[in-house]
Amino acid sequence: MPSTLFQIGRAVLAMVLGIGGSFVYFVGINKIIDRVFSDEIQEKVRPWAYIAPVVLILIGYLIYPVVNTAYISFFGERSDEFVGLANYEFAFTNDSMLIAFRNNAIWLVVATAGTVGLGMLIAVLADRVRYERLVKTLIFTPMAISFVGAGVIWKYIYAFRPAVSPQIGLLNAINVNLLNNEPVAWLFQVPENTFFLILVFIWIWTGFAVVVLSAALKGIPEELIESARVYGANEWQIFWRIMVPMIGSTIAVVATTMVIYILKIFDIVYVMTNGNRKTEVIANRMYKEMFQFRDFGRASAIAVILLIAIVPMMIINIRRFRQQERQR
């Protein structure tokens, strides 16, 4: 098929230009600096040549857009008339926005507790068996799968047929054939449907919690746990009084990472329910304002609210980074 050939040719050409171009820049700029400047000036100019591309891209793709988004959040849908705080008022009073806020709060609590809790459980238990690596790999593998792919996987599990036809969704098959219940349209059940979406997130992200927490657990000195056992501590006490406090900072890291991802959650909801039946979340609402309603003012206000929710996490991240720097 000529169109496929054309497409592959275009892809290869584009990749060669893109990747080759950036190589040529870095090697080329070095040679130019060597030729043009005296030795002394070379050493002053070169660092800037190395960081210029990233600084420019970061300004263009993050810093300028952030400032601009904050600015147009005070303007109307086409950014031509100043509307004050009207977009924010909309964000905090509109019904579907309120549902989105409530759902994001549920997501934050349930998905964070779910991933961290299950992650801790699996990390501690897997530490005691010989097939630890296999367990961790199996739990970790869904991390490779996109939210879109996972959305399809789970939508299939939740699939619903009327009672007269055989069930092809796993959950309804169990529900009908084994438990003798009526089939349920899981994603239509308000308010449980939000929890069914959260399950998809937990399925993907528990592996992350397991891997990070398990690495931290291995850092606890064996003698500490042994001597606690000698002094008569039971496993439960060892878990709560030794393991949890010893890896407290790592648990916090996993939890903040989860919070950052959950606040921005979009794909799962977009693919599985598109926010219908009261499953709306903030980021999906923003997408709708942007593309369905073409209201850039409201969409920007929602983005700013997301940013403000994430800033505390950002401060924690930077603090932790500074601490690491000092410890070096």
Partner 1 sequence: MNKEKLVKFLTSLPVHITLIVLSFLWTLPTLGLFINSLRPEDAAKTTGWWTVFQTPFDFTQLTLGNYISVLTEQGMGEAFINSLTISIPATTIPILAAAFAAYAFSWMEFPGRQIIFVSVVGLLVVPLQMALIPILRIYSATGLTGSFLGIWLAHTGFGLPLAIYLLRNFIGALPRELFESAFLDGASHLTAFFRIAMPLSVPAIASLITFQFLWVWNDLLVALVFLGGTPDVAPVTVKVSNLVNSVGEGWHLLTAAAFVSLALPLLVFLFLQRYFVKGLLAGSVKG
Q: Which of residues 6-25 bind partner 1 (CB under 8 A)?
A: 7-8, 10-11, 14-15, 18-19, 22-23
Number of residues that bind partner 1 (CB under 8 A): 119
For the CB of residue 54, give the shortest distance to partner 1 in the complex, in Å: 4
Q: Tell me if 26 contacts partner 1 by CB under 8 A.
A: yes
Q: Which 104-123 positions form the footprint of partner 1 (CB under 8 A)?
A: 118, 121-122
Q: Is the peptide bond before 191 cis (omega within 30 degrees of 0)?
A: yes
List the one residue out of 154, 168, 160, 156 whose CA is nearest residue 197: 154
Chosen residue from 41, 113, 148, 190 binding partner 1 by CB under 8 A: 148
For the CB of residue 239, give the shortest distance to partner 1 in the complex, in Å: 13
Q: Tell me if 139 contacts partner 1 by CB under 8 A.
A: yes
Q: Tell me if 244 contacts partner 1 by CB under 8 A.
A: no
Q: Tell me if 277 contacts partner 1 by CB under 8 A.
A: no
For the CB of residue 206, give the shortest distance to partner 1 in the complex, in Å: 8
Chosen residue from 36, 89, 98, 156 binding partner 1 by CB under 8 A: 156
Q: Given the rule CB under 8 A, which of 82-90, 94-102, 225-233, 296-304 is the region that contacts partner 1?
A: 296-304
Q: Are 91 and 302 in contact (CB under 8 A)?
A: yes
Chosen residue from 34, 89, 192, 226 binding partner 1 by CB under 8 A: 34
Burial class (CB in 10 A: 0-12, 13-18, 19+), 290: middle
Q: Tell me if 75 contacts partner 1 by CB under 8 A.
A: no
Q: Are 232 and 94 in contact (CB under 8 A)?
A: no
Q: Which 169-198 positions form the footprint of partner 1 (CB under 8 A)?
A: 169-170, 173
Give 194 or 273: the residue with its C-beta nearer to partner 1.
273
Q: Which 297-316 positions form the footprint of partner 1 (CB under 8 A)?
A: 299-300, 302-304, 306-307, 310, 313-314
User: Which helix (H) or strand (E) covers residue 85, if one does?
Assistant: none
Q: Tell me if 32 contacts partner 1 by CB under 8 A.
A: no
For the CB of residue 174, give the shortest distance to partner 1 in the complex, in Å: 10
Written as one letter, the residue type at 328 is R
Residue 219 vs residues 6, 115, 124, 139: alpha-carbon distances, Å:
54, 21, 13, 21
Distance CA(313)–CA(109), nearest Å, equals: 15
Q: Which tokens sit at 75?
A: 């303007």
Burial class (CB in 10 A: 0-12, 13-18, 19+), 305: buried
Distance CA(281)–CA(100), nearest Å, equals: 4
Q: Which tokens sit at 161?
A: 């047929």
Q: Which 215-234 positions form the footprint of partner 1 (CB under 8 A)?
A: 215-216
